[in-house]
Structure 1
Amino acid sequence: MATLQTIRSKGPLLVIVIGLALFAFIAGDAWKILQPHQGKQDVGEVNGETLSAQDYQKMVDELSEVIKLTNGLNSLNEDQLSNVKDQVWQSYVNNKLIAAEAEKLGLTVTDAELQAIIDQGTHPMLMQTPFRNPQTGAFDKDMLKKFLVDYANLNNSQMPAQYVEYYQTLGNFWKFIEKSLRQSTLAEKYQNLIMRSLISNPVAAEDAFKGRTEQSDMLLAAVPYSSIADSTVQVSDDEIRKLYDTRKEQFKQLAETRNIRYIDVRVVPSDADRQAVLKEVTDYSNQLVNTSDDFATFVRSTGSVVNYADVPVNKTVLPQDVTARLDSVAINEVYGPYYNQADDSYNAFKIIAKTTAPDSIQFRQIQVYANTEDATKTLADSIFTALKGGADFAELAQKYGQTGEANWISAASWEGAELDAENAKYINALISQPVNELASLNLGQATVILQVMNKKAMKDKYKVAVVKLPVEFSKETYNDAYNKFSQFVAQNTTLEDLKKNAEESGYTLIPRTDFSSDEHYVGGVHSTREALKWVFAAKVGEVSPLYECGDNDHLMVVSVEKINPKGYRDINSVADMLRAEIRRDKKAEKIMAQMNGFNSLDQVKGMTDAVSDSVKHVTFSAPAYIAVTRASEPVIGAVAEKTAAGKLSAPIKGNAGVYMIQVYNKDKSAEEFNAKTEESNLTNMAARYASQCIYDLRTKAEVVDQRYLFF
């Protein structure tokens, strides 16, 4: 099982490396019951090719299994699952777009190419598999081949179910790697083709080098645009229309969005609720004093959010508020009740034991299982006796369909986890078993013959029973909040009503512009899918029903204020932005006219509200940050590069004001020009442009995303 732990430890990097190829590997869960919207069964389409809700759910389930396996998780929370849904959709769209382009160009990934990648063994995905040499850490194709042979000859009837599941999981994991390698290699081919069309040359290399290494030190004076009142600069509707027509392509949106307003009421505990939780924890702390065994059952009965497992753990696994108090508490002493502000909880705990235990254990085992309990015991006794008599452990294990190999297991894999009695018994045996001695453990209907080979990193560890109860609102508190808000919603059935009466009733009406259907949550509140579906079915001015949402602690009502259809944004929605740009340009024209004929910075400094500064090490390739105007000004670097030392520039229209600069020093870095290095840098920049092509493909494609109707 150490191999699975290896996969888990490398999980985050693996998920990042896979990139465009985030697709399935496990045979997937059964199709979950959908709630079709108006008879539709498609969650979206790419250039006319539809994706059914069933297939999308299968992809989501498959990637969920990948992430749970590689990160050692039993389940995913709502936020994690939302991320999975988005990753699956993005990967599906990207791979469809790339596959279509690759087909036009005749790009493919052959089996021979895939095998060559595996044989070479340096691809990042291969480096994160468990098939790696223990000494070098490098991918070992021979280990992979051996596994594939064993997997192909897997005999389910002769191997314990635990090992069958292990081999099947690892086999499916490798299928996932193969599929991902093929998809990512095709994407790399396409991007490399684009990248190779962007050719660097010695002239561009020299310009890039100069732009990066030639520096200018300068004095500057400026008049900020803020020195002119907006009210004094008039902007006509015709001017806005003209600029809109010029910039129209920038205002194209690929999907419909909506402007909404909503009220989000979070239900919080009352003072009476807090007192009730304190009384409850006080009672439990008194009971904890007299509890001397079966702490797992007791802690479970309290509803504590901290599980108890009858194994010693590092203090770092315990809640921080408990860890901070451990050294001041004796064995079998109860501490509490006390309040912890960090998680708004009342607490009590009892230290049951303190011991020294390893953080890493190397062991090997043979799992014995027969048709009956008596047969299992007889067979286990026979194997145990043979091992005691000097029989070879590995040979006996292989006789019963197991490897008998020694594996390392880390305490991190069980500490903090919820363990049943059988698992706790197994872990305690690993911890307490002397090195090289044999033990026979009865676990359920099977028997495990166990031998600990080595132990490392001995540390102080604790058994602590923790009662931690967060302060939560009572049913009465929730009902009071619900009844009050429900009455408000019933009395305010239009958006205008909400605007007029929300504040007076103690509620805040929150605006949100450009809300899109792929955001999963309304107002960032969990479990608002029904509200999201309502938003994209409602008409302007309508008010939704009251929604109970969040983690059963939010109440919400939503209204649609405006619909922004797919296509070009209407001029009114961007008029303020355009007006500000035109006003800025007019201010620049006015200031530059006043500077006309100036031949010194002192003349600029003499202007009303002028500011001045000195800036060093300005290059063409990096925007200059001007502290006195608090703005990044790329144009300053461009003008400085062309201005000779001792010369004064013409007025410069910047982002925050109009500038004049005087360069007093030109310098070069000590770096020497190397044409090949610079051309390589330009090629790497081209690679970034090649990545941009995926976005361009998506912009031009017909992509329909209606996942919100189902998920």
Structure 2
Amino acid sequence: MATLQKIRSKGPLLVIVIGLALFAFIAGDAWKIFQPHQTKDVGEIDGETLSAQDYQKLVEEYTEVVKFSSGMTSLNDEQTTQIKDEVWRSYVNNKLIENEAKKLGLTVSKAEIQAMIDEGSNPILQQTPFKNQKTGQFDKDMLKKFLVDYSKMDKSKMPAQYAEYYESMFKFWTFVEKNLAQSRLAEKYQNLISRSLISNPVEAKAAFEARVNTADYLVAAVPYTSIQDASIKVSDSELKDLYNKKKEQFKQYVESRNIKYIDVQVLPSKTDKAAIEKEVKDYTTQLASVAGDYTTFIRTTESQVPFADLFYSKTAFPTDIAARVDSSAIGQIYGPYYNQADNTFNSFKVLAKQSAADSIQFRQIQIAAATPEKTKALADSVYNAIKSGSDFATIAKKYNGTPEAQWITSQAYEGASLTADNVKLFSTLFNLGVNETANVALPQANIIMQVVDKKAVKDKYKVAVIKKTVNFSKETYNKVYNDFSQFIAANPTLEKINANAEAKGYKLLERNDLYSAEHTIGGIKGTRDAMKWVFEASKGDVSQMYECGESDHLLVVAVTGIVEEGYRPLDVVKDQLKAEIIRDKKAEKIMADIKAKNLTSFEQCKTIPNVVTDSVKHVSFAAPAYVSAVRSSEPVLSAYASIAQLNKLSGPVKGNAAVFVFQPFNKERLKEVYNEKDEEQKVKNMAARTVSRFVNDLYIKANVKDKRYLFF
């Protein structure tokens, strides 16, 4: 049990320790989307499928790990989406490596995992709660003690939250142990590849010379932007020839869709805003006459800021409230007023203000017996013993309490959803004086708390806040809904939508290359059903109207094109190829004009039409040159660094953003001594840094299919 006490003293889990937040680690309804009878797969890797049920289990497992390690009790939509993506990415990467490792006979034994645990230096272990409080490093003895305690745990003889905590901790460790094995296997495979990369004295010497030989240039550049694109003609045959030359660059391994869509956001009308304003005015009048139960009153207003009978730091309130609190008199009403930043009407009443310690050091004992009567009797006995001078730490150990003093701040409750029991505990704790003890009765247990120290005195406020968002009414929504429905009914085809959307006040948006691994259309929440439709529809199809966002968006989608897996068609990459041909033709024209001038000095370069000049220093073959005059990185200048002759004007050369004429005015060799072994190692290290790209090659080879859009 002592191990658990140390672990529970860390971070946000403190709230759980003192029983102030009795939340369960449960997944939200968003996860409950799979039915037991479903057999569809969410993906495929090298012919091996991952079922929806198995993927769901992985997601739930990682969700519990995230909540446990962060101290959160629930996750928002963005966090759950990130978890789903991370689970899929990790599963794919691990499966790819496992398949290759199996062919090579690479394995990770239990003895290796135990050796990693004994050594304790792996970064994964450093992220666990099993840390030495003095060093902050992973402590294998704490882990061993926990595992022994868990194996002997009798849930029926310990408080529910302790048992739950142990169970969550064990699941967390199981996840860590699995990840240790996976990371070790990946490390072995990567080392096998990197060790196959070697260097030699010739390569090492060349790399050294490329780095130490530098040049300073005078640069004259004629930007491609000096010639209008419209003046350059590009034929279909030129496009086709370049496409065939670069076809492999346009290989697409996942199908994508091109769409057009109309997103209608429902906004409050002037009538809606006036109604909310009147409602807040009426509540404000009532607020002035409330005598005691502000918790109930504020709840009836449906304010965004719930009231708890506690003192809060000013920063715990919304920004607009915090900015006005100091200038508001105790007992007076401020408002109502409109806050444009969050689109709310507001009023508030400062009930009290005090200077109080924000950090409390305390220790506590939780007393729970078979019945409420026995719990009360035992708690009273313990409390009276402490009040009579008995040692708190000794009694705490006897009742599995927390003998070590711990620090807590008001951040433990500020911004949290609090029950009446939570408020009771926090209020008691923060109102106790140093060395004072309290016996707090709760339905499930008694908590005996003793304050050891206090610090960080600051101003605290007790404020009743009415904050209501200006939302649209049902009538407003129905009007927007009906108008848009009529438009869709009258324009059921893409051609008609294209022709009539603007005239009806709707903006037709376009998105090319939408992939099924994405989660939204146009960044709008709740568009999963629309995404699923897009990837099941045919070119030219128009969807039904979807209600999405946070019940404030209406959406219709049309599929304008399907880019299938394989080589992207010429018409899809046409603009990209055309831009390259135009650039090359501009370069040819500019270079021909410069050559015709027979320039012999850099001063003459300044007479070139549309020229810009600059100087670039310390250019080497190993370091790309950046020319600020054209705002572009220009590797062509780096390529000439080791061979260009001092003070000799170059001919025109084609760069990324311009045609250049340059003249080296200084060449320098860095003062480095060549060390063959060191240089060979640098070359090997450089090559090794590219090894991580092997996963992409394995991904392509394994023909990975991501069909999660069918479920999420």
TM-score, with normalisation over the residues of structure 1? 0.92
| Distance in 1, Cα, partners of 2:629 & 2:272 | 54
Distance 1:41 1:556, change over 3 A: same
Distance of 2:589 and 2:573 partners within structure 1: 25
CA distance in 2, matches of 1:166, 1:40: 34
Q: Helix, strand or coil for the counterpart of 1:240?
A: helix
The match for 2:591 is 592
- Does the residue aligned with 1:518 lie in a helix, a strand or coil? coil
Q: Per the alignment, do residues 79 and 33 of structure 1 end up closer, same or farther by CA in structure 2, a change over 3 Å counting?
A: closer
1:339–1:347 Cα contact (<8 Å) kept? yes
Letter in 2 for 1:437: E
2:59 aligned with 1:60, yes or no? yes
Distance change (3 Å), C-alpha of 1:40 and 1:493: farther
Q: Which residue of 1 aligns with 2:98?
A: 99
For residues 611 and 196 of structure 1, what CA distance do their matches in structure 2 show?
A: 48
Per the alignment, residue 474 of structure 1 pairs with 473
Give the Å deviation of 1:226: 3.0
* 1:73 and 2:72 are equivalent in the alignment: yes
Deviates more, 1:44-53 or 1:649-658: 649-658
**Residue in structure 1 matched with residue 621 of structure 2 by the alignment:** 620
Cα deviation for residue 224 of structure 1 reads: 2.5
Letter in 2 for 1:621: A
Paired residue secondary structure (2:320): helix
Q: Give runs of aligned pairs for residues 3-82 of structure 1, distance below 5 A.
A: 3=7, 6=10, 32-34=32-34, 41-82=40-81
What is the correspondence of 1:506-545 to structure 2 with a 5 Å cutoff? 506-545=505-544
Deviations 1:32-67 (A, max 9, x none): 343799x76111111111111111112222222222
How far off its partner does 1:618 sit?
2.5
Q: Matches of residues 545-624 of structure 1 in structure 2 within 5 Å?
A: 545-596=544-595, 598-624=599-625
Give the Å deviation of 1:205.
Answer: 4.5
**1:346, 1:534 → 2: CA distance?**
39
* 2:297 aligned partner: 298
**Which residue identity is paired with 1:168?**
E
Cross-structure match for 1:659:
660
Query: Would the aligned equivalents of 1:345 and 1:469 in 2 still touch at CA under 8 Å?
Result: yes
Superposed CA deviations along residues 369-397 of structure 1, whole A, max 9, x for unmatched, are 22222111112222223334444444444
Whole-angstrom distance in 1 between the partners of 2:119 and 2:684: 25
Quote the residue 1:375 is aligned against: 374
Task: Note closer, same or farther for the CA distance 1:90–1:303 as it changes in structure 2 (3 Å cut).
Answer: same
CA distance in 2, matches of 1:693, 1:425: 57
Once the two structures are overlaid, the 10-residue window that deviates more, 225-234 or 611-620, is: 225-234
Gap change, CA 1:421 and 1:198, over 3 Å in 2:
same
1:188 to partner: Cα distance: 1.7
Looking at structure 2, the residues matched to 587 and 220 of structure 1 have their Cα atoms a distance apart, in angstroms, of 19
Q: Which residue of 1 aligns with 2:498?
A: 499
Query: How far is 1:100 from its partner?
Result: 0.8
Aligned to 1:144: 143
Q: Is the 8 A contact 1:345 1:470 kept in 2?
A: yes
Equivalent residue number for residue 689 of structure 2: 688
Does structure 2 retain, via aligned residues, the 8 Å contact 1:267–1:553?
yes
What SS does the corresponding residue of 2:157 show, helix, strand or coil?
coil
Give 1:698 deviation, angstroms. Answer: 0.9
> Does the CA-based 8 Å contact 2:534-2:559 persist in structure 1?
yes
Equivalent-residue separation in structure 2 for 1:419 and 1:59 (angstroms)? 31
Q: SS in structure 1 opposite 2:246?
A: helix
User: 1: distance between equivalents of 2:281 and 2:456?
Assistant: 38
Per-residue deviation, residues 427-457 of structure 1 (Å, max 9, x unmatched): 1122122233322110113211222223332
CA distance in 1, matches of 2:537, 2:473: 34
Report how many residues are paired. Answer: 695
CA deviations on 1:333-388 (whole Å, 9 max, x unpaired) are: 22111111111111111112222333332322221222222111112222223334
Q: How is 1:409-448 mapped onto 2 (pairs within 5 angstroms)?
A: 409-448=408-447
Q: Displacement, 1:253?
A: 1.1
* Amino acid in the other structure paired with 2:702: A
Q: After the TM superposition, which residues 103-252 of structure 1 pair with which residues of structure 2 at under 5 Å, given as runs?
A: 103-201=102-200, 203-252=202-251
Which string of whole-angstrom CA distances, capped at 9 and with x for unpartnered residues, describes residues 61-81 of structure 1? Answer: 222222223333332222221
Matched, 1:640 2:641: yes
Shift in Å, 1:582: 2.1
**Counterparts of 1:573 and 1:9 in 2: how far apart (Å)?**
53
Letter of the 1:659 counterpart? F
2:489 matched to which residue of 1?
490
Per-residue CA distance 1:282-311 (angstroms, 9 max, x = gap): 112221112232222221211111122222
Secondary structure of the residue aligned to 1:660 is: strand
Give the structure-2-normalised TM-score: 0.92
Contact 1:8 1:69 in 2 (8 A): no
**Contact in 2 for aligned 1:7/1:129 (Cα 8 Å):** no
RMSD of equivalent CA atoms: 2.5
SS of 1:222 mapped into structure 2: strand
Identity, % of aligned positions: 55
Asked if 2 retains the 8 angstrom alpha-carbon contact of 1:46 and 1:701, the reply is: yes
Q: Call closer, same or farther: CA 1:513–1:361 in 2, change over 3 Å.
A: same
Which secondary structure does the structure 2 equivalent of 1:562 belong to?
A: strand
Q: Assess, with a 3 A threshold, how the Cα gap between structure 1 residues 393 and 153 changes in structure 2: closer, same or farther.
A: farther
State the one-letter code of the partner of 1:32: K
1:579 maps to amino acid: K
Residues 173, 323 of structure 1: CA spacing in aligned structure 2 closer, same or farther, 3 A cutoff?
Answer: same
CA–CA separation in structure 1 for the residues paired with 2:253 and 2:536: 18
Corresponding residue for 2:700?
A: 699
Question: In structure 1, what is the Cα distance between the partners aligned to 2:177 and 2:27?
Answer: 17
CA deviation profile, 1:595-628 (whole Å, cap 9, x unmatched): 4454333454433333322222333333222233
Distance across 1 between alignment mates of 2:373 and 2:301 = 39
Distance 1:456-1:206 versus aligned 2 partners, 3 A rule: farther
CA contact under 8 A between 1:158 and 1:401: conserved in structure 2?
A: no
Distance 2:571 2:143 in 1: 62
Provide the rounded CA distance (Å) in 2 between the counterparts of 1:678 and 1:400.
Answer: 64
- Following superposition, the deviation at residue 462 of structure 1 comes to 1.5
Q: Is the 8 A contact 1:369 1:445 kept in 2?
A: yes
Give the unaligned 5+ runs of structure 2: 15-24
Change in CA separation of 1:107 and 1:362 when aligned onto 2, cut-off 3 Å: farther
Deviation at 1:232, TM superposition (A): 4.2
Superposed CA deviations along residues 159-192 of structure 1, whole A, max 9, x for unmatched, are 1112112222222222222112121121122222
**TM-superposed deviation, 1:206:** 4.8
How far off is 1:529 after superposition? 0.9
> Whole-Å Cα distance in 2 between the matches of residues 151 and 420 of structure 1?
30
In the aligned structure 2, how far is the partner of 1:393 from the partner of 1:496? 80
